[in-house]
Structure formats: C-alpha cells, structure tokens
Amino acid sequence: MHTNARRPRLTPAMADVRRAVRELLATELPPASNRVPERAADTAPDARLSRPESPTPARPDTPLAPLILVGLSGGPDSLALAAAAAFEAPRAGIRAGAIVVDHGLQVGSAQVAAEAARQARELGLDPVLVERVTVERGTAVSGPTGGPEAAARTARYAAFERALATTGASHVLLAHTLDDQAETVLLGLARGSGPASLSGMSAVNGVYLRPLLGIHRGVVHQALADQRLTAWHDPQNLDHAYARVRVRETVLPLLEAELGPGIADALARTADQLREDSDALDALAAEWAAEIVDHAEAGIAVDVHGLASNPAALAQRIVRFVVAAEFGTALSRAQTLAVLKLVTEWHGQAGVDLPGIRVARIDGRLVFARRS
C-alpha cells in the first residue's frame, strides 16, 4: 500500500525489476507487432485486415493497445511485478491489468484477494479481475507435484485462461524469481526427474511470461520495500509440510553454507543449459518422428529400424513425442523404456500396455493403438 503520495525515488532494486519487465515486453510485444492483441486478432480475423498501415505506436489508452495481465497473488513477488508492469507497460504502448485468483483455501482469502485487487488498481492497472475458483479438496500434502498444491495450480491456470479469453489480453505475467527456479531444479533432482523437469521454467512459455526469472527474490523484495508497498505473506510459504518450503528454508541455505554462495545462480544456470539441450533434442525427435511415423488403424505405427538407428536419448524422445502428440499421454521413463525393449531386446515377446494404449511390434513397426 502507498503510505506516501509522493512517487518513490528510483532505487537499484526497482531499476533491476523494471528493466527485466521492460526487456521481456520489448522482446515479446515489440512495438511493430503490438498493434492488435494476438487473441483479439485470432477471434476477429477482420481486425487484422483492417489494421492501419501506419507504424505509429498504439497509445496505451486506445482500444487497439495490446493488453497484458499480471498474475497477482498479493504476495511480495507478484506485487513488485505488478508495480513494475504498471510503470513499464504504458511506456511500451501496452495496457497492463491484473488477475487475482482466490483459491478459497484459507480463511480470509477473499479479503486477501480484494486487497491485492485494490493495490493493483491503485498502481494504475486496468482491468483488474478477481476470480474465485473451486479447488478439489481432500488430498494429503504429497510433495511438489501432488496434493492441494497441484489442484490449486490447475484451477489457477484455468482461471488465467478464462481471463485471457474474456479480456482479449495476449499474455499473463508471472512473478517467479531466480530462487523459485533454483528450488524447482533441486526438487526435480531429488525426484530423479528427466531433463524436461530439470530445465525448470522458461521466461517465455506460450502466453505465460516470467520477467523476473533472472532476478533474486531478495532484490524483488527490496524493490517492493523501496516503493513502500506492503504485501500479504502467505503462511503456507512457512509451512514445512511442503517440500518446496523445506528446500527454500533449510536445504538451499545449508548448501550455501557448506558449498559456498551462488548455489541458486548455479542451479538456474544448469536449468538454462539443460533447456537449450532439451529444446535441440526435442526438435530433432520431432523431425525424426515426421520421417518414421505413419498412421495405422486406430493409432500410429513407428518404423523399428528408424527408432533403432537413433541413440537411446533420441529414441526415447521420439516415443514420448509420438505418444504425447497422438494420444495426449505423457509417458514416464519406465514406460518409455518398456516400449523400447520391443526394439532393443526383441525376441518375439508380447506387446506393452500403457494407460489406454496397447503397443505391439508387427511387421517391423511398433503399432500404438487405443485400448478399448
């Protein structure tokens, strides 16, 4: 909350946060392409045709100025992001609003959401949406990917999608920081996850933008304090029942103390490198899949020799890619390896059953068919 009507002086932390927002907006919504919001253009093809030829940047207050929404929980990271977006977006010819999701899981959540929305409006964000969602209850805390955390996340992202559709906004900005990235990588390592998970989050993922991914949480919090803004502090962020909280509060500080400072940066760097490698391998797998996959009755067929001629890492990706594309199913490593045994250890064995899918080797092809 502003406790002082005067504009706060720019501090180094505020400058860092604003620069990060400015740079990502410049890359993702450059002035030449930001006349018509992507989604508005999608739903109204005529808008593209009638777009004026003039290169004059859209004024942020004209209906044609693109719109972005900040995903605002009311917590310190997203409040700092909201403040930076409110400052930078109009200067880039972009309108900035906010979406506050009330998960309804904690006593007083409606007041937290209302206060976050009030702060967003005071910062100049418009429109500001508050959406109450229903989160499936009754699941025990079971780690970073399961339980109520995952259910809340699913409901939150569905609310983001609805907010994009109703407002015509092109993107949602999320306030994940470098420390969130480091925690994600460490949790992935502890689970024995593959490179996709260890690659962490990317700054640009479809309609989701994470401008603060290269900035330390401490800097983000300093920027907030410098602007005399007061955020809500989620008590769950201190609840050691959550693996992420234990990583944040105990594991990372211990690693820093024992191995020296810079662990969070190192983990984030590892994620960046893995993402580059993974993206390249994924692209290769998709190219290969286009070469060796045919449509078969009730599914698809993959040429066995085509698979066998690839190194294991690529063959596994091809199988995962094909199954995800055709059936929308994400295979685990164990399932992928079981399928590939039909290639690497073939002795005429029976096929493999995957969730809803039967895989059998027939005449030199792996045939993936939907199970009834």
Ligand X SMILES: Nc1ncnc2c1ncn2[C@@H]1O[C@H](COP(=O)(O)OP(=O)(O)OP(=O)(O)O)[C@@H](O)[C@H]1O
Beta carbon nearer to ligand X, 41 or 198: 198
Residue 156 sits in the site that holds ligand X (CB under 6 A): yes
Residue 227 sits in the site that holds ligand X (CB under 6 A): no
Beta carbon nearer to ligand X, 156 or 320: 156
- The residue sitting closest to ligand X, measured at its beta carbon, is 75
Region from 73-81, 117-125, 310-318, 361-369 binding ligand X, contact rule CB under 6 A: 73-81
Q: What residues have CB less than 8 Å from 88, skipping those under 6 apart?
A: 18, 21, 22, 25
Residue 97 sits in the site that holds ligand X (CB under 6 A): no
In the complex, the smallest distance separating the C-beta of residue 34 from ligand X, rounded to whole angstroms, is: 21
Residue 167 sits in the site that holds ligand X (CB under 6 A): no
Q: Give the residue numbers of the binding site for ATP.
A: 73-78
Residue 77 sits in the site that holds ligand X (CB under 6 A): yes
Question: Phi, psi (5° rounding) for residue 293?
Answer: -110, 135
Beta carbon nearer to ligand X, 174 or 301: 174
Residue 200 sits in the site that holds ligand X (CB under 6 A): no
Residue 14 sits in the site that holds ligand X (CB under 6 A): no
Residue 72 sits in the site that holds ligand X (CB under 6 A): yes
In the complex, the smallest distance separating the C-beta of residue 155 from ligand X, rounded to whole angstroms, is: 9
User: Over the range 187-205, which residues count as b (16 or more CB within 10 Å of their CB) and which as e?
Assistant: bbeeeebbbebbbbbbbee
Pick one of 37, 66, 76, 211: the residue that binds ligand X (CB under 6 A): 76
- Residue 295-334 contact track with ligand X, rule CB under 6 A, x = bound: ----------------------------------------
Region from 75-83, 258-266, 309-317, 337-345 binding ligand X, contact rule CB under 6 A: 75-83
Residue 176 sits in the site that holds ligand X (CB under 6 A): yes
Q: Which of residues 228-247 bind ligand X (CB under 6 A)?
A: 234, 237
CA distances from 242 to 17, 245, 249 (A): 28, 5, 11
Sheet with 299-303: strands ordered across: 293-296, 299-303, 365-370, 357-362, 352-354
> How many residues of this chain bind ligand X (CB under 6 A)?
18
CB atoms within 10 A of CB 243: 20
Q: For residue 115, how far is the Cα from the chain centroid?
A: 25
Beta carbon nearer to ligand X, 86 or 100: 100
Residue 222 sits in the site that holds ligand X (CB under 6 A): no
In the complex, the smallest distance separating the C-beta of residue 272 from ligand X, rounded to whole angstroms, is: 19
Pick one of 69, 100, 117, 339: the residue that binds ligand X (CB under 6 A): 100
Residue 215 sits in the site that holds ligand X (CB under 6 A): no
Q: What residue ranges bind ligand X (CB under 6 A)?
A: 71-73, 75-78, 99-101, 103, 156, 174-176, 180, 234, 237
